[in-house]
């Protein structure tokens, strides 16, 4: 099973859990404060610069579209 990294939005705790691909992330809770407010993190991405919080969901060159 793949390891998924999560970041608690409550205590900012970072933890990894072994979850299946079809496992809902909303069922994940922080092992530290038992909070359900966790966000899935990807270790693949490497953050070099420690800038302020800035979220933007845009995929350049991501061809795709809704299908019926």
Closer by beta carbon to Zn ion, 37 or else 43: 37
In angstroms, the CA 68 to CA 53 distance is: 36
Q: Confirm or reject binding of residue 8 to Zn ion (CB under 5 A).
A: yes
Q: What is the Rg, in whole angstroms, of the alpha carbon atoms belonging to the chain? A: 15
Q: Confirm or reject binding of residue 4 to Zn ion (CB under 5 A).
A: no
Binder among 11, 25, 40, 43 for Zn ion (CB under 5 A)? 11
Binder among 7, 13, 14, 15 for Zn ion (CB under 5 A)? 13
From residue 48, how far is each of 20, 37, 65 by CA, in Å? 29, 25, 32
| Bridge partners (DSSP) listed for residue 5 | 16, 41
Q: Residues interacting with Zn ion, by CB under 5 A?
A: 8, 10-11, 13, 30, 32-33, 35
């Amino acid at each position: 099973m793949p390891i998924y990294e999560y970041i608690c939005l409550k205590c900012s705790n970072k933890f990894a859990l072994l979850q299946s691909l079809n496992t809902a992330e909303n069922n994940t809770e922080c092992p530290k404060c038992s909070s359900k407010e966790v966000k899935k993190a990807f270790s693949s991405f490497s953050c070099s610069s420690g800038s302020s919080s800035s979220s933007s969901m845009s995929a350049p060159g991501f061809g795709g579209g809704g299908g019926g």
